[in-house]
Chains A and B, each alone.
Chain A
Amino acid sequence: MEIVKNILELTLEHLSLAYGALILSIAIGIPLAIASLYNRKLASVIITIANLIEAIPSFAVVALVVPLLGIGFRPAILAILFRALLPIIKNTYIGLSNVDNALIDAAKGIGMTNWQILINIRFPHAYPPMFAGIKFAAILSNGIAVLTAIIGSGGLGKLIFEGLASFNIKKIFYGVIPVMVIAIATDYLLTFTEKRITPEVL
């Protein structure tokens, strides 16, 4: 019983770590993507940084956080955020800006404001790439949330690393299986949401 309770606790911790970072990334990433749409300079800065950070291995990002922010749950969230933010900004920005000029011209011409064009025209077109970005960010968050156990974030990574250190195969499985279930469930949930809100014809 003790071990079940322990797994549940660590799973909850893992979820709040991975999902907390993911939700924060969405909450910060989408407004930044919108802002880039109306500011070319910001757009080029963000895309350049995004490409740069994508080239750094996740493990290196986790390691880098320690000298800057120390160890524990919050630095871990920041490490994940750092990696998950970029695919969301990048994909949302691409989706929002890749709308046919003639459509935007028509929308302005019939008297829609920039905001109405964003909500009614740009976002429906941006959903597919935006969700692809969010899914990728979710996979990253789930994976990095395991890694951050090294810097004291807690969560399922703790079980896995302990199991690895002591050759305790059971313990490894206790950690790995919930991580896999979370990954599959997240993907399913996001696909479901995407299908619900994306217009059928797009």
Chain B
Amino acid sequence: MAENKLFNRIESIKIRNISKKYGEIKALENLNLAIEGGELLILIGPSGSGKTTALKTINRLIEPDNGQIKINNHDIMNFEPVKLRRNIGYVIQQIGLFPHLNIRDNISLIPRIEKWDKNRINDRVEELLDLVDLPKIFAKRYPSELSGGQQQRIGLARSIVMDPPLLLMDEPFGALDPILRKQLQIEFLKIRKELGKTIVFVTHDIEEAFKLGDRIAIMDKAKLVQVAKPNELILNPKNDFVSQLVSSHKKFMHMDNLKVKDLMVELSNKYIFESSKNNREVAQKMKKNGIELAVTVSDSKLEGIANFNIICTAKNKDLREVTEKVHTFSPEKCLSEAVAELKEDKNTLAVVVENGRPVGLMLTDKLLLELV
């Protein structure tokens, strides 16, 4: 397969002066952007600002009207598009798993086209399922049997099956429930460390941008407005548009004044389950609501949490038997202390409890951990 690898690692991607018009509509206007090898670059901006268009020019799903893109100083127009795309992972919001193929075949479609032998394929599929934290038995299931979050994990697994050094992600968590989105972001950060890939990541969620990005490129009306490290955007916004976009994140700069309740996500009823419930019933409800975390209670008092995957693998048991202990905080606790405690325990999640009742969730993010 060596001859199919166009590059072993990304040194640089240079986007030079590219524009794209659809009739009279300018989708992209003179975009200049240099992406460094190994970084996670966020593209953020309002709907229609050209994020998807910019992303798709990198794997040649869209050909710009003019300008040039170089990867490791090679003009990508000199690569055959299909070959280029097999060297670049691609994940989209709609996930795009093929409904008629099981998970194993979805992940291994390109390896099968490239005629890998069966053992190699099976090993790779198992390795990837493991990486995205799904049990091996999922290989035989069909996409429709999976929850939204599980499908998105498979979408990620499929995109990296050929071990591409570059990954393009277009709002991969955009369609997910807010709490599940935060969980997947944290998981993704872990995976990212293991992978060490260069990633271009589109979002229009500024919180997500700050949580994941090494640098953030802000787009508006088909143009790049500013590209900088997260903290720099807060300290030196280029114009009002940028300062407004990042304003919600200024509060992080004064964390000592914040309490747990300022950062927690409120827990709606759909997350809360009686621990005496049967797992089969719980799993069904969770899948319907698109969530992967159950907060279990008995008599409204917190018992712990349980994970969707584990609930699914123990369908004949009660929720109580798969419930795990969880870190708890009171809403009035000082945020920096709470985050420090979590960091020490290597935890990323805690339940906020008031009078014994669960009222919210705390999910730590990268920015917070860095600030403590």
| A interface list, Cβ under 8 A from B | 100, 102-103, 105-113, 116, 120-121, 124-125, 199, 201-202
Contact = CB atoms under 8 A, between A and B. Distances in A.
A199 B100 CA distance: 6
Given A105-B61, A109-B90, A110-B85, A125 B113 contact: no
B90 A202 contact: no
A110 B83 contact: no
B15 interface: no
B95 interface: yes
B98 A103 contact: yes
B196 interface: no
A124 B159 CA distance: 22
A113 B82 contact: yes
Contacts of B99: 201-202
A106 B61 contact: no
Interface in B350-364: none
User: How large, as a class, is the contact surface on chain B?
Assistant: 20 to 34
Interface string B66-109: 00000000000000001111100110101111111100000001
Contacts of B85: 108-111
Contacts of B89: 110
For chain A, what secondary structure do more than half of its interface residues adopt (helix, strand, loop), or is it mixed? helix
A201 B110 contact: no
Nearest to B161: A110
A102 B100 contact: no
A112 B85 CA distance: 8
Nearest to B100: A199
Given A112-B82, A112-B113, 8 more contacts: A106-B92, A109-B168, A112-B109, A116-B113, A120-B109, A121-B98, A124-B100, A201-B99
A20 B144 CA distance: 40
> Which 7 residue pairs are nearest across A and B when measured between Cβ atoms?
A106-B96, A109-B90, A111-B86, A102-B94, A199-B100, A111-B85, A124-B100
Given A112-B109, A201-B142, A106 B100 contact: no
A28 B59 CA distance: 36
Contacts of A111: 82-86, 110, 162
